[in-house]
Amino acid sequence: MVEERGDGEDLFAAIGEAMTTLRAESGDDETLDPKTPRARREGLREAHMRQCIRAARKEGFERIAVVCGAWHLGGLQADVTMKADQGLLKGLPKLKVTSTWVPWTYRHLARESGYGAGIHSPGWYEHLWLSGLDGERRPRAIGWLARVARLMRERDLDCSSAHLIEASRLADTLAALRQRPAPGLDELHEATRTVMTLGDEAVLDFIRDELVIGDRLGQVPAGVPTVPLQRDLEQMQKSLRMKPEATQKTLDLDLRQPNDLARSHLLHRLRLIDLPWGEIARTGKSSRGTFHEVWSLQWQPEFALRLIEASRWGQSVAQAATAAVAERCGRERTLGALAELVDRVLLADLPEAVIVASRALQDHAAVTGDADQLLAALPPLANVFRYGNVRQTDATMVGHVFDGLVTRAAISLPLAGDSLDDAAASQCRDRVLGAQSAIRLRDPGRQTDPSTQWRAAIGQLAARDGAHALLRGLCTRLLLDDGLITAEDAGTAISLHLSRAAEPGKAAAWLDGFLNRNAVVLLHHDGVWPLVDAWLSGLDEEHFVRVLPLVRRTFAHFDAAERRDLGQRAARKGGGGAMAPTPAEWDEARAALPLPLLRAMLGVDA
């Protein structure tokens, strides 16, 4: 209702009266009760503003405009002496401040930044402003609907003059029913949805993007100083000898060197503020070693604008990245995303951000019982134990968070395997394997080692009747690999799950989990081969056709060398026996050829 008034200066008088009354009657008047910390802070701000107004008057200015929140109007008009304001401000520390202008956009104005006076529809307010220029009240409803019609016709959507007339009438009717002097954005939106789009909300999306928000970009003079964040980045680029270039180039970093480690920290910090100057390679040295990172660098022109946008987070790259992480922690809702964020912060060497992200992860984990989220959060956190020594990272900052997640995951794991379909079971297998690898990276022998609870949970899942057969087979294999069960125990489990009484589909799924995408157990455990061979050979035609796709998919994960060795073993009678060649294939003279070299290597006399 305030925005719809058209009586000029009386509008400001009405706002002033409303806000002064509200401030006085709400019991939150800083001039009346300056005891609370917030009231003291607001009182200091208003005292400084009053001093600035007095300084302007002293310079001879008579008509002074103050741009501020309307709440402060009562404080600026309060009958407070200069001496009182000087007493309030006396003793405050003085800081050196450097200010500049930054080009902003309508989309930034509409972005939720936490400030109460944010503008959600800057494009609409521009339309209101243009509709009332030169003291002329133009028919803004018709003008707005005409712009909507133009957008629709540009996208080949049907919109006739009759649509515009009916939509305008409906908007006027809605405004009258709601006792408003003219149609506002809500009325025009409802009229557009009802008449022009026939209830299609998808059309309203591009109307909101193009008209309600808009794409206007501000401009600043060329002589305006650069933002502090930009200067900090330019200084770091100069000191680290990293010249921004438009051409793509490769940067190979050895993290054992201090300068290369600092370069890595800078590139990771820039990615946290949405400035991907470098993309890290996921193959080659970056994937094979713990002290190598290979980056592909290419500076884009739009990075200059992104740098200005990121200046709202801080004046240096480290400050901006830390503040950006804190803001993102409030938005993330999954443990996996938070754990990945902790990993990225560790790579960027931001101790304060690690504390914030770790606390957010711990708080979210405390109220989460979802085993899938708990398992997904472990692999990113485990990277700190892999890279901690090389990157000089203090692993203790996230170690207790990791241990807590392992404990919660161990509690939730046995029940997580129940009532799963094949797709969900396959996803759960990947989660369990990732968590198993992550836990192995954690240093053993600590006073509180949650890996013991994890191994117990693996054993419970392997023996749980209601769990999916794929997960039961996988857990049996993990127990065998860790030496928690013997080969004889594994053979007993195979005999049980691949017996003639077992349902073929479940037996094939159990075998898929037990083999775990590698043929080592088939090639090197002589007791496993005959059991698998007997089960597969004993299937009738109907069951064999049912399990064949799953068995083929299981063996397809083996590499070419493993499949060749399996074929050679199957070609021998029964497929049994050791992998040693038969006497007919033995060539004693050929076998003796490497003996001199072996004696030289071992230092054994001939």
Kindly tell me if the per-residue pLDDT of 138 is higher than 80: no
| Residue at token pair 């080692």 | 449
Lowest mean pLDDT among 15-24, 89-98, 450-459, 582-591: 582-591
- Structure-model confidence comparison of residues 105 and 191, the more confident one: 191
Assess contact for 11 and 5: CB atoms under 8 A: yes
What does the pLDDT look like over 166-197, one tens digit per residue?
Answer: 999 999 999 999 988 888 899 999 999 999 98
Assess contact for 175 and 187: CB atoms under 8 A: yes
Helix (H, G, I), strand (E, B) or coil at 254: strand
Q: Which of 192, 228, 231, 242 is nearest to 212 (CA)?
A: 192
d(Cα 164, Cα 196) in Å, to the nearest integer? Answer: 8
- In this prediction, residue 582 carries a pLDDT of 46
d(Cα 118, Cα 139) in Å, to the nearest integer? Answer: 27
Helix (H, G, I), strand (E, B) or coil at 81: coil
Query: Token pair of 15, please?
Result: 């706002």
| Residue at token pair 């693996």 | 458
Q: What confidence tier does 403 reach under pLDDT thresholds 50, 70, 90?
A: confident
d(Cα 70, Cα 68) in Å, to the nearest integer? Answer: 6
Query: Token pair of 419, please?
Result: 């009532």
DSSP 573: G
What does the pLDDT look like over 297-341, one tens digit per residue?
Answer: 988 877 877 888 888 888 899 999 999 999 998 888 888 888 888
For residue 119, report the phi and psi dihedrals to the nearest 5 degrees: -105, 120
- In this prediction, residue 32 carries a pLDDT of 47
Q: How far is CA 296 from CA 248, 251, 276, 280, 466, in A?
A: 7, 6, 10, 6, 49
> Beta-carbon neighbour count of residue 429 at 10 Å?
21
Greatest extent of the chain over all pairs of C-alpha atoms, in Å: 114
CB-facing half-sphere around the CA of 62: CA atoms within 13 A = 0
d(Cα 380, Cα 371) in Å, to the nearest integer? Answer: 16
The strand pair at 278-280 and 249-254 is best described as unpaired
Query: Token pair of 496, please?
Result: 């049980």
Helix (H, G, I), strand (E, B) or coil at 418: strand
- The three-state (H, E, C) secondary structure of 309-344, written as one string: HHCCCCCCHHHHHHHHHHHHHCCCCCHHHHHHHHHH
Average pLDDT over all residues of the chain: 82
d(Cα 234, Cα 241) in Å, to the nearest integer? Answer: 10
What does the pLDDT look like over 467-518, one tens digit per residue?
Answer: 898 899 899 888 888 888 887 888 788 878 877 777 888 888 888 888 887 7
Query: Token pair of 552, please?
Result: 């083929």
Q: How far is CA 362 from CA 342, 355, 357, 370, 382, in A?
A: 11, 10, 9, 14, 15
The edge-to-edge listing of strands for the beta sheet with 278-280 is 249-254, 292-297, 278-280
- In this prediction, residue 34 carries a pLDDT of 55
The strand pair at 292-297 and 249-254 is best described as antiparallel
d(Cα 303, Cα 275) in Å, to the nearest integer? Answer: 6
Kindly tell me if the per-residue pLDDT of 265 is higher than 50: yes
Q: Which of 376, 503, 382 is nearest to 429 (CA)?
A: 376
Query: Token pair of 603, please?
Result: 């230092």
**Rounded (10°) CA dihedral 511, 516, 517, 519:** -80
- In this prediction, residue 170 carries a pLDDT of 94
- The three-state (H, E, C) secondary structure of 266-308, written as one string: HHHHHHHCCCCCEEECCCCHHHHCCCEEEEEECCCCCHHHHHH
Most confident of 35-39, 53-57, 134-138, 378-382: 53-57
10 Å CB burial of residue 44 (0-12, 13-18, 19+) is middle
- In this prediction, residue 95 carries a pLDDT of 84
